Structures are given as C-alpha cells and as structure tokens.
Structure 1
Amino acid sequence: MSGSLVSGAVNFRDVGGLPAGEGRTRDGVLFRSGNLVAVDDDGIDTLRSIGLRRVVDLRDESELAVDPSRLDDLPVEVQHEPLFLGSVASFFARDLSLEQLYTEIADASADRVVAAVRGILADQPVLVHCTIGKDRTGVTVGIALAAAGVDPEAVVADYARTEALLPAGRNARVLSAIRALHPENVHAEDLATRSPARAMRALLAHLDGTYGSAAGYLRAHGMTDAEIGRLREVLVE
C-alpha cells in the first residue's frame, strides 16, 4: 500500500496496491483526502511531484466559501460535485447512522456520484476529496473501487483506514460542537470521527441487493459498459 502524505492535507492517501482479483490497483492514479485549505508549500510541491491533473471536490458551496482549496498554480482541472442534498448540519440534526447516510448519498446523489466517477476517468492522477475525506469521499471512492473489481474486503479496509488518520484535536472540536447542538444524538461520534468497516460493508450490500453490484449501480445511473471497462483499465493493473 503506497501512501503519499501531502503536508497540510488531512487523510491524504493513494489507493494503489489494493487486491483486485488477479490484479491490484495502480499506484499514483487515484488519491483521496480531506480538504486542501491548509496545504503548505511542501504540500504544494508534493502535489506537483505527483503530477495531479484533476481534483474532484465533493463539498457544497458553503464549505468552499469557508475553506477554499489551496492549489496555487498547479495545472489541475477542479470539478465540483456536491454530494449532500441538504447541509452537512442536517445529517447531525436527523441523527442518521453512517449506514443510513451512505445509502442516502448513493440513492439521492447518484447523478453526482456518477459524474465524480467520470471525473476519475477523465484525467489521472486524480484526487477525490471532501472536508475530512471520510463519508462523501468514502462512498465515491468505495463505489469506484468496487465497480473496478477491487476485492470487497479491500474496499472496506481502505475505507476503514480513515479513522486512524483523523487528528484527535479536530475530532474533539467537531464532536463537542455537535454535542452542544444535539446532546441526545446517538450517532454523533460515528458521524464525526469514525469509519467502521460495517458502514462500508452495508453500502456494498445495499448496492449488491438493489443493483446487483457497484458496477450495476453506475450502469443504472447512466454509465456505459465501455466506461465501466475503462474504469477497470484505469484503476487496476
């Protein structure tokens, strides 16, 4: 499993090296992370050395306004595909479980998930990110990897890695803000700080049960067999 730590970016990693049947995911093609607001000069140098060509940003307008990405003069195409219908705050207000949240993202924002996966096809190396790189990024990257033929437990394990990469100080701040607003919430800690394997397993099971597979989900929302074949070629060696 190769990693490419970008200074100032939380939870930045390469999804290369995951088992996919007889193959494995390519290094240096698809990256995932949290936002790029605090990337420093060293981080910009690393992004330049990666040769990044596209950034698929899954955040909404309000998040972009508060935390604009730092990309300097990097020659990247930035694609915005906001994945939450309604604000981030609304998910905490409704006290959704991660399983409910991921099903809702996949079902309610399917057109944008497909557009984000098409972004992965359009240019590589490509970075997919949201605010912390856990939920929206987890769903999008998980679906792309599963559709490309990555072993389901490897998709789950890549998702679950996030929890250990989130800064403790950030977790404490976010959790205390949620608890102040919603003291009775059952799911606050999961929503704010955790990426348990069960949540990604549940999403993959939902896609399998409803669409036959992750590839079937993408197909049902407009992707062609040729595009899905190309996704496998791009991501798996």
Structure 2
Amino acid sequence: MTTPGAGPSGAGAGVDGVLNFRDVGGLPAGAGTTRSGVLFRSAHLARLSDQGREELRALGVRRIVDLRADDEVAFEPSRIEGLEVETLRAPLFSGPTSSFFERDATLDQLYRSLVDESSDRIVEVVRAVLETRPALVHCTAGKDRTGVIVGIMLAAAGVDEEAVVADYAATAGHLSPERNAFVLARLRRMHPEARNLEELATRSPARAMRTVLDSLTVRFGSPAGYLRAQGMSDAELADLRGALIAAPAPEHPRAEDT
C-alpha cells in the first residue's frame, strides 16, 4: 500500500533510485512465458537518479501508469524530466490512503476494496498497457495497488497461478529493513492503536494474492472473467494474452529424424 514517505530505497532495485523495480518477463504461462521488456512494475519515481533515467530510457519505457492519489503525487513527485515518456494518472483510491490505517484494515479487506470499488480504473490501466508498450505501472511502494493490478493482468493473460503469486510475494524481498522501519515508525506515530500496520505497510504474503485470485474465480469464473464483467471484450483479452505471453518456438525436426 502506498504509505506516507516511502523512506530510503531498498536493495534489489533494477533502476537506480527506484524501489522494487522489476520486469515481469519470464513467468510460466502454460506452454509459453511472459515477454520481457513489455511490462515493468515498481515503487514511486521520486528518487529516480540521472543514472536511473538513462536506465529507463534504455529499457524503452513509453508509458508510465501512476496509481497514486493526488496528495501522494504532490508529496513525492516523479523525477522523469527529460524522458520522452507519457504519464497516465489512474488513482485507485477514492479517498485518502490514511483511511485504511485509520480503520485498521487488513490486506484482504484492502484488496477486496480495490477489486470492488476501483474496477473501472483497473480496466483503464489494463487498456493503457495494451495501447502503449513498454509500460511501467507503479504506486508508492509497488506492493498493493501495483501488486493487485499486475496480478490480475498476469492471471487474466494466462500466467500460471503460482507464478502470479510468487511475483506478488517477491515484493517483500525488495523492501529493505531500513525502509520498513522508517515507514512503520512514522505510521505508528500517526495511528498508535492500529494492529495491522506492519502487514499493510511492509508485507506481501502469498496468501493475500491467492485470496484475490480465488475470489475472482468464485465470483466471476476467473480473473479474465472479472475483467470481462467490467466491460473488457474477448478481443481485448486476447490482445492482452498476445501482448504479455510469448508462445514457445516450434520444434524443428532433427536431421536424424528426417
């Protein structure tokens, strides 16, 4: 979840100055795999360095989808000056992010809220990625809003469920102890009675993404069925699979078999 002040960047960033940056390429999807260099995910870009801007330029990123609310963007504006990249704002929360801490929501409650109350924006983000690629989707920590949207996209495209879950859960390894301590100390001063701060601000348990995917399957038949119920066409879903998934190369007969 986006948290006030993401704190120092942690280890594992693939672009200098950006926490939790990674390419979702190489994930198993039936007989195929996700394409590399098409969809990236990360935390905010407020500490993107000059080196990081060159790295983003080298990756060919053409569109950035920023899932943060207005107050978050004002507090930590993206440092993307000089990059020939289009930024699309798609804030997922209708209210301030602090409301989830004030009511002491669990991750499961937060994710159910995202799926149910931000479905139009989720579809908007999927279509934005389809329209302009390579794309980078990010929020503040790259954990919850980014995790849910990327997880739904990957699952709807046909990525193996355990690979979707593992990609989501990998975020915990990209959030350094220093960053987590910084965020938790700030949040505890603001919400001293909250019991779920640590999970909301620092954790990405596999259970949480399995709960999202299971709920979409029970309620809509599948993650693709969820997007279809929100207005995406079968043609768009086919385009999503084609954009994200590379089929295996055909096997050529060996000389001794001909």
Per the TM superposition, whether the score is higher than 0.5 is: yes
Pairing 1:75–2:84 present: yes
Looking at structure 2, the residues matched to 162 and 104 of structure 1 have their Cα atoms a distance apart, in angstroms, of 21
Aligned residues: 235
1:147 to 156, 170, 173: 156
Deviation for aligned residue 1:209: 1.1
Pairing 1:54–2:63 present: yes
Q: Which has the higher contact order (CA 8 A, sep 6+)?
A: 2
Corresponding residue of 2:250: none
- The sequence identity of aligned pairs, in percent, is 58
Corresponding residue of 2:179: 170
Looking at structure 1, the residues matched to 20 and 186 of structure 2 have their Cα atoms a distance apart, in angstroms, of 21
Looking at structure 2, the residues matched to 36 and 59 of structure 1 have their Cα atoms a distance apart, in angstroms, of 11
After superposition, residues 99-138 of structure 1 pair within 5 angstroms as 99-138=108-147
Task: Please identify runs of 4+ aligned residues in structure 1 that moved more than 6 A.
Answer: none
What's the secondary structure of 2:231's corresponding residue? coil
Letter in 2 for 1:133: G
1:14 to 3, 10, 23: 23
Looking at structure 2, the residues matched to 204 and 59 of structure 1 have their Cα atoms a distance apart, in angstroms, of 23
Deviation for aligned residue 1:4: 7.6
- 1:26-62 Cα deviation digits (max 9, x unpaired): 0111000000000001100100000110001000111
Gaps of 5+ in 2: 1-11, 247-258
Deviation for aligned residue 1:75: 1.4
> Would the alpha carbon gap of residues 215 and 9 (structure 1) be closer, same or farther in structure 2, given more than 3 Å must change?
same
- 1:49-78 Cα deviation digits (max 9, x unpaired): 001100010001111111111112211111
Corresponding residue of 1:45: 54
Corresponding residue of 2:238: 229
1:201 to 202, 206, 210: 210
Letter in 2 for 1:123: T
Are the counterparts in 2 of residues 160 and 196 from structure 1 also a CA contact under 8 Å?
yes
Corresponding residue of 1:159: 168
Looking at structure 1, the residues matched to 83 and 185 of structure 2 have their Cα atoms a distance apart, in angstroms, of 36
The root-mean-square deviation of aligned C-alpha atoms, in Å, is 1.1
Are the counterparts in 2 of residues 54 and 124 from structure 1 also a CA contact under 8 Å?
yes
Q: TM-score by structure 2 length?
A: 0.89
Are the counterparts in 1 of residues 13 and 19 from structure 2 also a CA contact under 8 Å?
no
> Would the alpha carbon gap of residues 61 and 130 (structure 1) be closer, same or farther in structure 2, given more than 3 Å must change?
same
What's the secondary structure of 1:31's corresponding residue? strand
Letter in 2 for 1:7: D
Corresponding residue of 2:75: 66
